Amino acid sequence: MTDKPVWLVTGASRGIGAAITRQALAHGARVALVARGEQVDALAASLGDAALPIRADVSDPEAADAAVATTLAAFGRLDVVVNNAGLHRGGKAKRLAQDSWQQVLDVNLTGPLNIVRAAIPALEVRGGSIVNIGAVVGFRGFPGDVAYASSKAGLSGMTKALAIELAKKEITVNLVIPGLVLTDMTSELTEAAMASMTAQIPMGRMGAEHEIAEVVYWVSQSRYMTGAAIPVEGGLLSSFGVIAE
């Protein structure tokens, strides 16, 4: 075992999660990449021995427990947890299927709690960091996004509650709020929706995955910031325009 810090990143097989993984590795960390699909195996193999692939569905408490246990068995410690795994199901309230609503909450809200519960005993050994990945929609409504918005608003509340609960254990808990970033998830949006949202970003462009990852790393290293919500969204939360339906 080495003294290099260990990260566990959920939703690590692509997009922002993969960018966060690469950022942590670049700073000398070892990283457990947690994702549901087999894509995570190939990514970890390409990143070297410091990357450990773990296939797990974070919405399953037993799978979350096993992911943390596997990380500890392989690396011997856990210092940073990034709750990035996310599921999006669009639809206005009248048309949103009940199972779609529940799936989004299970992954985006219950999933982080499952991982945190499993990780607390390891994180409190040295005083660790939990970084939750939120979304602008959790603070500013978009039509047809009731499930995702509710899950991310809930994650903001969870962050604040956990920050208070875990402060005496010297575990920090913060929320990073990405704006519009071109990932597999946002690529599902129509061109009209993308154009409408991009037009309201004061910086006039979408964000890049590495720009989110850089902030996540910085937040993870701050030892006197907890319960904070850190936007990385080109000023979108400061813009008061109305998103077109």
Beta bridge partners, 178, equal 232
pTM reported for the whole predicted model: 0.92
Task: From the candidates 148, 180, 201, 231, give the one annotated as an active-site residue.
Answer: 148
| The residue type at 123 | L
| The residue type at 28 | G
Look at residue 67 in the predicted model and tell me its pLDDT: 98
Domain range for residue 81?
Answer: 6-229
Q: 16 in a domain, yes or no?
A: yes
For position 199, which CATH number holds? Answer: 3.40.50.720
Q: 237 in a domain, yes or no?
A: no
Look at residue 178 in the predicted model and tell me its pLDDT: 95
Name the domain count of the chain: 1
How many CA atoms within 13 Å lie on the side-chain side of 29?
25
Look at residue 245 in the predicted model and tell me its pLDDT: 41
Q: 26 in a domain, yes or no?
A: yes
Q: 238 in a domain, yes or no?
A: no
Has 148 been annotated as catalytic? yes
Q: 168 in a domain, yes or no?
A: yes
Q: 33 in a domain, yes or no?
A: yes
Nearest-CA neighbor of 119 among 86, 79, 154, 159? 79
Which token pair is 123? 């994180």
Q: 129 in a domain, yes or no?
A: yes
Q: 239 in a domain, yes or no?
A: no
Which mean pLDDT values do the consecutive 10-residue runs of the chain (245 residues) have? 90 96 98 96 98 98 98 98 92 87 95 98 97 93 85 97 98 96 72 80 91 98 97 86 45
Question: How is residue 95 annotated by DSSP?
Answer: T
